[in-house]
Structure 1
Amino acid sequence: MNPFPYTRLAAVPLAPLLVTQARALRRDTPRLPDAALPWTGSRPGPDPLRILVLGDSTAAGVGALTQDEALPGWIAHEVAVRWGRGASWRAIGENGATAKDVRERFVAEAAAVPFDLALLTIGANDALGLRSRSAFTRDVRSIVRTLRAAAPHADVLVSLMPRFDRFDLLPEPLRATLARHAASLDTGARLAVQGLDRVVAIPTPPPYVDGFFASDGFHPSALGYRLWAEFVFDSAPGLDLGH
């Protein structure tokens, strides 16, 4: 049973305050740029793995200077450390993208790229926009199915909601409202991809350590991306990329 079945309805009485807090947050939070181009790269090593990172601002590397210091570079690093393989990688996405944006504007491009491992990072903007659970769930399932159809041999990792309740920059009741709604969306998306072949939904993240966040207090720093990449693989113990 969904523990948060009416999270959008619960936000209605608080709407004026939530809107005011959200506007102040957008006004006062520094807007960091995407990671510098190019959004492609490689790491030397035998039998290179082709890595695709698809999604929102975290696919765009916001909070890091380059994609080498963001998810693609650290995913490639973990592949080298854990399986001794080289890697080539590509990131596709956009700061502010929702699951609908990825489904409509980016997944076709992503599906046309040869890949052996895909990481879909999506959900934060859907929670921020209080999108419905059913719409978000349909979009995530559609994206994952498209990736699976494009590369049946590949593994698809799905990283969903951050822990909004641990974001110190968020005031109350905005923080608690977003946390409840994000948890509902997260549950729905996990159920939507459950049982799909070679698809792993990554658990919600552990407590954020000092230095995890970039200067805006919202996106990961280079350290945050490194810890995230480590957590992704720690959370998928059955994944074998050594072949």
Structure 2
Amino acid sequence: MNPAVLVEAWWAKHHVKLAAEPAGERQGTCRVPDASSASSGDAEPLTMVAVGDSMSVGCGVTDQSQGFIPDIAQSLAVRLGRTVSWSTYGRLGATIRRVRYRLLPEVTGHADLLVICAGSNDIMANRSWEEWRTDLSATVEDAKSKGTRVLVLSSGQLYRDPALGKALRAEVERRIDRQTAISEEICAGAGVTYVDATHDDVGTDRQDFWGIDHFHPGCEGYRRMAECVVSKLPEAFVDDLRSL
């Protein structure tokens, strides 16, 4: 590995101070703005449960309500024309292995939509591709028993993070490209929906994208990423959610 990558990784480990998991309720309800009782008001809310890493619990903002998952729920409510009730189970630093063995087992009941949001920590921890393949495959299969539909999200746009050095960002991008390809293959084989939102332009070059730790997204960053995710959902998948 390029020595510059190792030096920059060491520097980031000792100097980048990550924001803690924000306060606030890890569940809520998002409604269609100005919805009439003749539309979404009469329908049962779609239940959405997310499991994952720091992005799933909104690190980078000051309250859970400003995070990635409620933003996805709000964008999804608008696209569906239906109320979405959301909840999230996540931990700062969680790898897909922790999602598989610790977080997913915490989910009780059965959701209409179960969202898996992980990957960045596996990249930073330099976990092997075989470990990623094994743990993601098992997590997806376990998720099918807890959600009628399963959605897997790509890693965040860590390779564009200004808190990391140039050489390290290039190495992270290379690894995220590989991770994304493996994830797409696994999800296609398992028959679940995968959204690659790590390669889209969501304005990471703008100062308002980044959160209070200059590492995770902030309020505006999460909003843009959520809109990107929901806009990329296949229409057939959205129609299926409407029918649940």
Q: Settle same-fold status: TM greater than 0.5.
A: yes
The gaps in structure 1 that reach 5 residues or longer are 1-10
Match of 1:183 in 2: 177
* Secondary structure of residue in 1 paired with 2:179: helix
Deviation at 1:136, TM superposition (A): 0.5
Answer yes or no: is the 8 Å Cα contact 2:202–2:228 preserved in 1. Answer: no
Answer yes or no: is the 8 Å Cα contact 1:55–1:97 preserved in 2. Answer: yes
RMSD, matched Cα: 1.8
Match of 2:35 in 1: none
Match of 1:59 in 2: 56
Deviation at 1:115, TM superposition (A): 0.8
Match of 1:18 in 2: 5
Q: Given the alignment of the two structures, is residue 42 of structure 1 paired with residue 36 of structure 2, yes or no?
A: no
Deviation at 1:232, TM superposition (A): 1.1
Match of 1:106 in 2: 103
* Secondary structure of residue in 1 paired with 2:171: helix
Between the two proteins, what is the percent identity of the paired residues? Answer: 28
After superposition, the Cα gap between the structure-2 partners of 1:165 and 1:150, relative to the gap in structure 1 and judged at 3 Å, is: closer
* Secondary structure of residue in 2 paired with 1:216: coil
Match of 1:212 in 2: 209
Answer yes or no: is the 8 Å Cα contact 1:51–1:72 preserved in 2. Answer: no
Match of 1:135 in 2: 131
Q: Given the alignment of the two structures, is residue 117 of structure 1 paired with residue 104 of structure 2, yes or no?
A: no
Q: Given the alignment of the two structures, is residue 146 of structure 1 paired with residue 133 of structure 2, yes or no?
A: no
Write the deviation string for residues 185-215 of structure 1: whole angstroms up to 9, x where unpaired. Answer: 2211221111433x21112341241222213
Determine the C-alpha separation between the residues in 2 that align with 1:58 and 1:31: 12
TM-score (norm 1): 0.85
Match of 1:166 in 2: 160
1:33 corresponds to which of 16, 20, 38: 20
Deviation at 1:120, TM superposition (A): 1.0
* Secondary structure of residue in 1 paired with 2:56: coil
* Secondary structure of residue in 2 paired with 1:100: helix
TM-score (norm 2): 0.85
Write the deviation string for residues 13-47 of structure 1: whole angstroms up to 9, x where unpaired. Answer: x35x4343223213322321212132112235442
Answer yes or no: is the 8 Å Cα contact 2:18–2:215 preserved in 1. Answer: no
Determine the C-alpha separation between the residues in 2 that align with 1:125 and 1:237: 27
- Equivalenced residue count is 226
Deviation at 1:90, TM superposition (A): 0.9
Report the AA paired with residue 237 of structure 1. Answer: P
Report the AA paired with residue 184 of structure 1. Answer: R
